[in-house]
Amino acid sequence: MNKILLIIKREYLTRVRKKTFVISTLLFPLLYLGLIFGTGYIAAKSGSNLRIAIIDSSGYFDKGKIERENLQDSSTVLSLVSLPADSLRTNFSTMGYDGYIVIPAKVDWETGIKKLPFHTSRTLSLDGAVPLKRKLNNIWNTVKNEKLGIDETKKKVLEESEISVETENVNDTTANSGTASAMGIIAAILIYFILMIYGSQVMMGVMEEKTTRIAEVIISSVKPFQLMLGKIIGIGLVALTQVLLWITFIFVIYNVTKATGAASSMSGMIGGIQKVFTSTNISLITCCFVFYLIGGFFFYASMFAAIGSAVNEDMREAQSLSFPLMMPIIFSIVTMQVVIKDPTSALSVWGSIIPFTSPIYMMARIPFGVPGTVPWWQLGLSMLSLIGGFIFTTWFAGKIYRTGILMYGKKPSWKEMMKWAFRKN
Amino acid sequence: MPILELHHLRKYFATQKAVDNISLNIEQGQIFGLLGPNGAGKTTLIRMITGIFYPDEGEIIFDGKKFDPINDIRKIGYMPEERGLYKKMKIGEQTEYLAQLKGLKKSDATKKIKEWFVKFDMQTWWNKKVEDLSKGMQQKLQFVTTVLHEPKLIILDEPFSGLDPVNTNLIKDEIYSLAQKGATIIFSTHRMEQVEEICDHIALVNKGQKILDGTVKQVKQEYKENLFKVNFTDKITPEHLAIHLFEVKEKKETEVVIKVDPGYSNNDVLQYFITKGLRIESFNEILPSLNDIFIRLVKGTPTARQFQEIKA
């Protein structure tokens, strides 16, 4: 036992003292925020800036309405021209336009225009014509409002009378579906990253011991299983440290900004965090998160260790053997959206009980409410099967590890590794 | 009392009888040479002695009791042939870590490491990393980590590979002094001249079986061929040598190598030369070198061990 503690201590300290740990701990949240805001920003800005000529034969689209729209949104500029359509067809690009639209003469404001062809020489993306469509419809609405005699006040009344629906679970009023999905996504993605990054760290660590040939020196002092377990626990604690640091950051930022009265630029995010704290069962979610983080890590890490022990210096061998192990992790993160859309479907329920997918699936479901969405028996069963699962994988991997760590030479096949696992001592 | 007794040890792998019924006794304070060609089963045998492998059959008695890997391991120091260190770890810390794994307290470990570092002139290494060391320097460090916890039994697998003559002598002297202080040393190698120089007792293993066991002197006696080298002051002529007492193996102007017929003693031979009026300068027995014995015994076995199907 004492020896495992020594190993854990070494594994933990050598990693936490590294510069890369400090840097990644600080940088990851920034990158993560950058990713969220960055994609939002890019998505907002990605509409093409088009210059479009409009030939209006109907008389509804006058210069004043078009100019007003251009003032509100300058990303796509419409300009009214009075040229014959034929000459515009040949000349629009030399005149500096990206395309043109012809409004036909016979248009009835009551029935409207179903479809207008946009003549252009460019191939636009799926969303490329959205700003154009929005502008044309805004103008067309103004036209209709005028015809119907709706003034600004009436218009305001019309637009503000929308009813929105918010689901409220009768069993658990704290579970808000919007916040829940956001929390589920964040928790699941974090677990995904930890499993992938720290799982491969375990594999690399074992490979390092094997390729530097220190493995045999160590296992003449400790049992191979102790060495493997010490390494997994040590690296697991590194992962836990990192995640707890991140959670602390969030608490600190939250409290500091709340105390200083919250800078207005941050208020949206802070408001979001505040909502998380008040509208969900945050302590249960945090506890479950830590449990599934550790459980999932143990479940996978020992198998990563077994693979690390089986291969030699060649990284490609390690990649090809670890790929089947990464598949269920990748599968669960890819299909997580389905779980968040319907957290009570059969896939969600069983996926969150089977230990291969449960760490990610269950964390995606729990924010929707326990016991509202996730009954206690499901949570209990899922936790038990994860505990059982990691005891089994650790035992199983230990047997492969014991043989693999001393084997040099060719890469073993899966069949040979199975033989190692089921062989007597 | 022997410190280590092996009784009918067996270890079979899927395609190899790695160790096939080996029994050995090693006395305390001995420097024991474990010899054998590549793939003979030496490493497997050592791994059973160090508790890394469990024997399929047989028994290991260590220090008078049945070998208990968990507790006895701290009385053993093992330097494997495939050895290494954590490259990125500081040398002082790493040595402390390995010593603690052997059951030393940290303060004791630090004290002992400092002593050894002074002895081997390594004081400036403490805060360096292993990757800064040459292979020979790493070897010295590995030797220190092997013997630091004052084991009763020290197992060294090819301890001199990659060392220069100065450092080889340094380690060799250390091995002698450890043996004098009562430690038992098992020394595994295929460098026969080192075995002859260092070991008291040897065992030769081939194809998983022990084919020779005894003191170096005994073994040489056992495999001697009654060869003698005689030097004369006078020139020798063919007539001098035409006699049934011996067979001439080599002949130079004033020197012959003869194989004495088993029916006669050395005195008979000397008597004969004296009666012939030859003045003898020297008369020496030629004992076979361990290298010769090794090659003779192992010859005939294929240079690479063949795989075989084992039905356990």
pLDDT digit string, tens, across residues B242-252: 777 888 888 88
SS3 content of chain A, % helix, strand, coil (to 5): 70, 5, 30
In this structure, what DSSP letter does residue A23 have? H
Q: Residue A3 and residue B52: Cβ atoms within 8 Å?
A: no
A107-131 CB burial, b ≥16 within 10 A, e <16: beeeeeeeeeebbbeeeeeeebbeb
Could you tell me which of A1, A3, A5 has the C-alpha nearest to residue A237? Answer: A5
CA distance B101 to chain A (A): 6
The hierarchical CATH code for the domain B225-286 is: 3.30.70.1560
Closest by Cα among B179, B162, B161, B160 to B170: B160
Question: Residue B27: which residues within 8 A CB-CB, separation 6 or more?
Answer: B1, B2, B3, B184, B201
User: Are B196 and B287 contacting, i.e. CB atoms less than 8 angstroms apart?
Assistant: no
Kindly tell me if the per-residue pLDDT of A383 is higher than 90.
yes
Within 8 A of A10 by CB-CB distance, chain B residues are 97
Q: Which residues of A touch B (CB under 8 A)?
A: 3, 6-7, 10, 14, 208, 212-214, 216-223, 406, 408, 419, 425
Residue A178 in this model has a pLDDT that exceeds 80: no
In the prediction, which pLDDT does B76 show? 92
Q: Helix, strand, or coil here: A118?
A: strand
pLDDT at A264 over 50: no
Q: Is the model's pLDDT at A382 over the cut of 90?
A: yes
pLDDT band per the 50, 70, 90 thresholds, residue A329? very high
User: A47 pLDDT exceeds 60?
Assistant: no
Q: Does B47 touch chain A (CB under 8 A)?
A: yes
Average pLDDT, stretch A60-82? 81
- Asked if B44 has any chain A CB less than 8 Å from its own CB, the reply is no
> Which segment of A80-84, B117-121, B147-151 scores lowest on mean pLDDT?
A80-84
Instruction: Give one word for A170, left, alpha or beta, with left for phi > 0 and alpha for psi -120 to 50.
Output: alpha
Q: How confident is the model at residue A294 (pLDDT cuts 50, 70, 90)?
A: very high
Counting one residue from chain A and one from chain B, the pairs whose CB atoms sit within 8 A come to 58
CB contact under 8 A, A213 and B87: no
Contact B54 A217 (CB under 8 A): no
Q: What is the DSSP track for A337-374?
A: HHHHH-TTSHHHHHHTTSTTTHHHHHHHHGGG-TTTTS
Q: Which residues of B touch A212 (CB under 8 A)?
A: 84-87
Inspect the interface and report whether the beta carbons of B80 and A222 lie closer than 8 Å: no
Q: What interface predicted TM-score (ipTM) does this complex get?
A: 0.80
Interstrand relation of B255-260 and B227-232 (parallel, antiparallel or unpaired): antiparallel
Give the right CATH number for A51-153 from 1.20.120, 3.40.190, 3.90.660, 3.20.14. Answer: 3.40.190
The helix/strand/coil state of A127 is coil
Segment B31-72, tens digit of pLDDT: 999 988 888 888 889 989 988 888 888 999 998 899 988 888
Give the per-residue SS3 of chain B.
CEEEEEEEEEEECCCCEEEEEEEEEEECCCEEEEECCCCCCHHHHHHHHCCCCCCCEEEEEECCEECCHHHHHHHEEEECCCCCCCCCCEHHHHHHHHHHHCCCCHHHHHHHHHHHHHHCCCHHHCCCEHHHCCHHHHHHHHHHHHHCCCCCEEEEECCCCCCCHHHHHHHHHHHHHHHHCCCEEEEEECCHHHHHHHCCEEEEEECCEEEEEEEHHHHHHHCCCCEEEEEECCCCCHHHHCCCCEEEEEECCCEEEEEECCCCCHHHHHHHHHHCCCCEEEEEEECCCHHHHHHHHHCCCCCCCCCCCCCC
User: Taking CB atoms and an 8 Å cutoff, what residues of chain A touch B102?
Assistant: 221
Chain B nearest-CA residue for A424: B56
At A230 the three-state DSSP class reads helix
Spatial contact of A155 and A145, defined as CB atoms under 8 Å apart: yes
Picking from B52, B89, B142, the nearest residue to A220 by CB comes out as: B52
Residue B50 forms contact with A (CB below 8 Å): yes
The pLDDT assigned to A265 comes to 47
CA angle A388, A391, A394 (to 5 degrees): 145
Gap between the Cα atoms of B169 and B197, Å rounded: 12
Q: Report how far residue B215's alpha carbon sits from residue B226's, in angstroms, rounded to the nearest whole number.
A: 19
Mean pLDDT of A315-319: 84
Q: Interhelix angle for A177-211 vs A282-310, to 10°?
A: 30
* pLDDT tens string B98-107: 999 988 899 9
Q: Which residue of chain A has the CA closest to B74? A: A221
Is A216 in contact with B52 (Cβ distance < 8 A)? yes
Closest partner CB to B73 (pick from A14, A214, A221): A221
Exposure of A150 by Cβ count < 10 A (0-12 exposed, 13-18 middle, 19+ buried)? middle
B194 at A interface, C-beta within 8 A = no
Residue of chain B minimizing CA distance to A207:
B86
Of the pLDDT bands very low, low, confident and very high (cuts 50, 70, 90), residue A409 is low
Q: Whose CA is closest to A340, among A129, A162, A181?
A: A181
**Cβ <8 Å between B85 and A214:** yes
B83 and A406 within 8 Å at the Cβ level: the answer is no
pLDDT class of A273 with cuts at 50, 70, 90 = low
Mean pLDDT of chain B: 86
Per-residue pLDDT, averaged over B129-136, amounts to 87
| Partner residue opposite A14 with nearest CB, options B76, B85, B89 | B89
Assigned token pair, A313: 């210096």
Phi, psi (deg, nearest 5) at residue A235: -70, -35
What's the pTM value of the predicted model, to 2 decimals?
0.76
Instruction: Encode pLDDT of A89-119 as tens digits.
Output: 888 888 888 888 888 887 777 777 778 888 8
% of chain B surpassing 70 pLDDT: 96
With an 8 Å Cβ cutoff, are B101 and A214 in contact?
no
Contact yes or no for A217 and B47 at CB 8 A: no
Question: Where residue B312 falls among pLDDT bands split at 50, 70, 90?
Answer: very low
Nearest residue in A to B56, CA atom: A425
Write the pLDDT tens digit of every residue in B217-240. Answer: 888 888 888 888 888 888 887 777
Split at pLDDT 50, 70, 90, the class of A259 is low
Domain boundaries, chain B: 2-221, 225-286
Which residues touch A196 (CB under 8 Å, ≥6 apart)? Answer: A326, A329
CA distance A140 to A114: 12
Task: Tell me whether B67 touches chain A (CB under 8 Å).
Answer: no
How many whole angstroms separate alpha carbon A226 and alpha carbon A346? 39
Question: Superfamily for B2-221?
Answer: P-loop containing nucleotide triphosphate hydrolases (3.40.50.300)
pLDDT at residue A268 greater than cutoff 60? no
What average pLDDT score do residues A194-206 get? 92
Token pair recorded at residue A102: 């012809």
Task: Write out chain A residues lying below 8 Å of B74, CB-based.
Answer: 221
Between B309 and A305, name the one with better pLDDT.
Answer: A305
The DSSP output letter for A18 is S
d(CA A416, CA A423): 10
Burial class (CB in 10 A: 0-12, 13-18, 19+), A378: buried
Query: Which of B211, B207, B164 has its CA nearest to residue B303?
Result: B207
User: C-alpha angle with apex A257: A255 to A261, nearest 5 degrees?
Assistant: 115
CB contact under 8 Å between A213 and B80, yes or no, is yes
Q: What mean pLDDT value characterizes chain A?
A: 82
Per-residue pLDDT reduced to its tens digit, A121-169: 777 766 677 778 888 888 888 888 888 888 888 888 877 767 777 666 6
Tokens of A74: 């300058």
* C-beta atoms of B86 and A6 within 8 A: no
Q: Cα distance from B78 to chain A (closest Cα, Å)?
A: 7
Give start and end residues of each alpha helix (H) in A224-281. Answer: 224-259, 267-279
Per-residue pLDDT of B157-186, as tens digits, reads 988 887 888 889 999 999 999 999 999 999
* B309 vs B292, residue with greater confidence: B292
> Which residue in chain A is spatially nearest to B155 when comparing CA positions?
A220
Q: Which residue has the higher pLDDT, B260 or A46?
A: B260
Confidence of residue B258 (pLDDT cuts 50, 70, 90): confident
Cβ atoms A366, A382 nearer than 8 A: no
| Closest of A346, A333, A321, A323 to residue A296, by C-alpha | A333
Percent of chain A with pLDDT over 70: 86
Q: Which of B56, B81, B82 to mutate to test the interface with A (most CBs of A within 10 A)?
A: B82
Domain ranges, ordered by start, for chain A: 2-35+175-422, 51-153
* pLDDT of residue A357 exceeding 60: yes
Per-residue confidence (pLDDT) for residue B33, from 0 to 100: 92
* pLDDT at site A165: 72
Q: At what angle do helices A315-334 and A358-365 cross, to 10 degrees?
A: 30
Interface probe, candidates A211, A214, A226, A422, chain B, greatest B C-beta count within 10 A = A214
On whether any CB of chain A is under 8 Å from the CB of B167, the answer is no
Residue A375, judged by CB atoms within 10 A of its CB (0-12, 13-18, 19+), counts as middle
> In angstroms, rounded to a whole number, what is the distance separating the alpha carbons of residues A290 and A243?
9
**Tell me, what amino acid is at B238?**
P
Contacts of B97 in chain A (CB under 8 A): 6, 10
For residue A407, give the DSSP letter. -
